[in-house]
Amino acid sequence: MHLDMDSFFASVEEKLNPRLRGQPILVGGTERRGVVASANYAARPFGIHAGMPMAEAKRLCPHAVFVEGNPQKYVHTSLEVLDTLKSFTPAVEPFSIDEAFMDLTQVPYAGKPGAGERDPGRILDAAIPTAHAIQRAVLRRVGLTATIGIAPCKYVAKMASGVQKPRGLTVLTQERYRERFWERGVQELWGIGEKTRVALEKLGIRTIGQLAKFPREFLTFHFGLNGEHMQEAALGNDATPVVPYYEGIPVKSMGHEITLSVDVSDREALLAQLLRLSDMVGRRLRADHYLGRIVSVKIRDAKFRTTIRQRALPLVMDDEHEIFHTASLLLGEHWDGRPLRLIGVSVSGLVSAVGYYQPSLFGGDEHRRKMLEAVDSLRDKFGEQALVKAGVLR
């Protein structure tokens, strides 16, 4: 099963402020460059969707209620939802703050078919009473509605949960999945964006069915391993297991990005932003006990063209000085001087710092390590603004 909360952020705000009920609600950054993080179903008919610039959303629906996002409220509610799902099965994998996968194959549930049952449709349909019970339990616990997709694998379950929202329940066998989706455009596949759609169209691939039947060797030639993954998705194949919450999901990267209040072309101002973001990333790495090796920089210009470039370092690290040094080199090499509206820094290739020892990593600058520990300690006690790098002040 895949559970997807309905317009989660906006629904939380509506629940906490009943006076908003029935009105179009937009949650996100309310400043000039803000982006819609969530829009409730009263706002959807106006063409508003998550990821849209808030200014455009205000133009489409000027009478909407605009709410600044509050992550603490959403995390608290998300944990309550997770706790509810755990009462049905321990095999729950949080997928995002408002989504989760559940594996019920080893759990007795109402209507479960007998061991001799072979029809995939009847096997999946037998889980419908449990799905309804989960929806009711979530509604009782947190006062919010959820949509569920049931399928033989995670990918198809994710696709199924998007068929009928809100409060929906869709069951898709692999055959039903193909019947429903193969005639649709490839952009309907979860994970395929506009650039990939255009690239596939150049190969004559417009529908999901065409992608499923296209010679795999040509797909891998043009898209590498991602070509194989896209075709497996089109076929409805996914062998990925549900990773229970108690096993943990490995962190792949840590990063921060910012949408600038105005387009910026001044190099020193951009470097100041890079320094601030690098400082934030380094602090997160140390706080969560990770070391990383690959530094990436993300930039987006005024025409929304996005560039991401990365560089691998000889050794793993968690020092914002090294992050910033590499990030500034990447910016100098790949920024053409056009005004930027967004800039970001991330570190990937992470390993746990617990028990990690590499003589050349910390031995050369023990004084700097002590300084970083002192800065982290002061910020823990007095807040992030207790100490600020001088280069950030501009």
> What amino acid positions are annotated as catalytic residues?
99
d(CA 25, CA 352): 41
| 3 state DSSP class of 186 | helix
Please name the residue that has the structure tokens 């994710």.
158
Q: Beta strands 169-171 and 146-150: pairing type?
A: parallel
d(CA 169, CA 362): 54
- Could you tell me which residues come within 8 angstroms of residue 110 by beta carbon, excluding any fewer than 6 positions away? 129, 130, 133
Tokens of 95: 């997928």
Measured from the Cβ of residue 387, the count of other Cβ atoms closer than 10 Å reads 13
Point out which residues pair with 4 in neighbouring strands.
99, 147
CA dist 59 → 24, 54, 92, 326, 327 (Å) = 13, 9, 40, 40, 36
d(CA 382, CA 384): 7
Cβ–Cβ under 8 Å, residues 345 and 323:
yes
